[in-house]
Structure 1
Amino acid sequence: MSAKLPLNSVELEAQGISLAQQLPERAIRGSVEIDGYHLATITIEPQGERIGTALLVPGYTSSADTFNGLLQPLSERGYKVVAFSQRGQSLSEGPDNTDGYALERLGADIHDIISKLELGNDVHLLGHSFGGVVSIEAVLQDHSPFASLTMWNSGPRNMGGDLLEQRYGLLEHGPRAYYVGSQLAAGKDPEADIKGELNIIEQYYYDRLMSTNPAQLEAGINILIDQVDRTVELSRTGIPVLVSHGANDDAWPIEMQREMAEQLGADYWVVANAGHSAHADRTHTSAQLLATFWDEH
């Protein structure tokens, strides 16, 4: 009889255990000062011999904690893993003007983190969603520190959909507009926060959103709206690439992600029974998939 796998992050959330509470005991919270701002980091050292190092970049309204479920299984596969909150995201500091969140600056933050944490020149870079857009920028700035790039539920160009509508809501009503929109889409009360009726998991995501710098949110949505396809440039770097997404990913069109993988000659892996945050829906499976790709490079 095979051993029972640990619960996925979404299963732990169903028990009232938030992402922040899913941090492994061996993981260490810290921060790195970059450009005058402290960016939050989470680091876990490998169990046994170190095979490699990975740097994980979170998505648009996310934070370093989104990857907490991956840390333990990746460390068991021999990887030192560092996750961080991008500037202005929850847990990190950032400027109050959108100019401080230019894509070039966000990409440079990745290089600064690698340098300040002395991660070396063979870093496996993973960008989830918006983090993938930033990761491509970092690789194109200088690909020499990277052993590989993983585009994790992330695409090459403007995803379409309701980005313009989201930006309008943000500019008119502030960050809470995103909360109201998600509540309405889920058929839930958009005033549950005002009424104090959020459960522990809902409160976690609400606090994460509302502790994000509004300038970061505005700049980020502009970057997503203006995103242009840089696949050809990326292919010229020669860096090994994995394109992977949940089978039910509802952000970038799946066909768009598949085409990117084909153009890059990249590995292309689909995680069954998972959505846009495949690492939350299928945590152990995602960790083993990533470690297997990194092992090969």
Structure 2
Amino acid sequence: MFTFAVQDEVMTESADLRQLTPNSAVRRDIVTGRGTFATLVAEPEGSARATALLVPGYTGSKEDFAPIYDPLAAAGLRVVGLDQRGQYQSAGGDDPALYSVESLGADIAAVADTLGTPVHLLGHSFGGLTTRAAVIGKPSAFASLTLHATGPSKLDGQRRTVVELAAPMLPHRPLSEIYDLGQQLNAQDPSFVAPQEPLKSFFRDRFVTGSAASLLGMGESMLTEPDRVAELKATGVPVLVMYSLQDNAWAPDLQADMAVRLGAREVVVPGAMHSPAVENPAVTAATLIGFWDDVTD
């Protein structure tokens, strides 16, 4: 199945379509020395007891956390969802080198610097690789790291093949054409359930609004990332590894082994695949709140 165009949004019949879940988060730009980044910010009533910075995966955006903004804010947290450089509403650049894991990690650290210290950081999918780089580069900026449906190193398996197949098209074909081709190929798979409106239009708009260079550069980064588990463990930053047994990106056994090597808390989210924040937001939010409470006591 060709899933490049909707890599983090392949729907099953049982999955809830929640990226457009109504919530209280407000669209804000965060200006840093490394650029301006689009965010959604949900504020608690009264003073925030901590800040959470949520970073999406390849082809994703800040909307991938829509169902958990309000539950986390209700627990007293200021919640900031980020579009990484070149994603959706964050400007990028034409040089794929801007989208190395190290460069994107430096972006995340720069955003964290504007939020006060320390910050609870979460990275979903490819965002797990870039948030890991941010923590390794500047561990003092972060109170914790949650690795959310991500792995210890480069992507492998079916999704790797899809990224490799898409790469030659990105410099030469419009994103709209690539997206539509992906949808046509997806429709040939009898297990694929196409998103309905208005989510269908949102996914297409998000993809074509992003940067082709970012997709090319992030894709290359995702396919070449080394195993940096030992480096992350050496920072001493508390880590939560959270995933589903039905994850179809990084294999669940790789994520479980990563948790053991990190000495991290490990939580398996039921009723989810590769995006627990939208597929099982109640368990995801409760798990995050409990972890952040424990590491800040």
Q: For this structure pair, what is the TM-score category when the shorter chain's length is used for normalisation?
A: 0.7 to 0.9
Assess if the C-alpha contact under 8 Å between 2:87 and 2:210 holds in 1: yes
Distance 1:23 1:41, change over 3 A: farther
Instruction: Provide the alpha-carbon RMSD of the alignment.
Output: 2.3
Q: Is 1:129 matched up with 2:125? A: yes
SS of match in other structure, 1:22:
coil
Counterpart of 2:169 in structure 1 is 172
Q: TM-score, normalised by structure 2?
A: 0.85
Consecutive unaligned residues of structure 1, counting only runs of 5 or more, are 1-8, 190-196
What is the CA-CA distance between 1:260 and the residue it aligns to? 0.3
Counterpart of 2:87 in structure 1 is 89
What is the CA-CA distance between 1:227 and the residue it aligns to? 1.1
Paired residues for 1:37-186 under 5 Å: 37-116=35-114, 119-162=115-158, 163-172=160-169, 174=173, 175=175, 176-177=177-178, 179-181=180-182, 183-186=184-187
How many residues get paired? 274
Q: Is 1:231 matched up with 2:229? A: yes
Q: TM-score, normalised by structure 1?
A: 0.85
Mean alpha-carbon deviation: is it higher for 63-72 or for 170-179? 170-179
Assess if the C-alpha contact under 8 Å between 1:63 and 1:84 holds in 2: yes
Q: Pick one of 278, 290, 293 that aligns with 2:291.
A: 293
SS of match in other structure, 1:292:
helix
1:162-218 superposed Cα distances (whole Å, 9 cap, x missing partner): 4244233232264443553354234379xxxxxxx9742222111111111000000
Distance 1:223 1:139 in 2: 17
1:5-43 superposed Cα distances (whole Å, 9 cap, x missing partner): xxxx953x3xxxx63x42423x22111234564310111
Distance 1:44 1:154, change over 3 A: same
Assess if the C-alpha contact under 8 Å between 1:159 and 1:253 holds in 2: no
Distance 1:104 1:223, change over 3 A: same
- Matched AA of 2:157: G
Distance 1:241 1:270 in 2: 14
1:140-164 superposed Cα distances (whole Å, 9 cap, x missing partner): 1010011110000010112311424
What is the CA-CA distance between 1:45 and the residue it aligns to? 1.3
Distance 1:66 1:153 in 2: 13
Assess if the C-alpha contact under 8 Å between 2:126 and 2:222 holds in 1: yes
Distance 1:50 1:35 in 2: 25
Counterpart of 1:5 in structure 2 is none
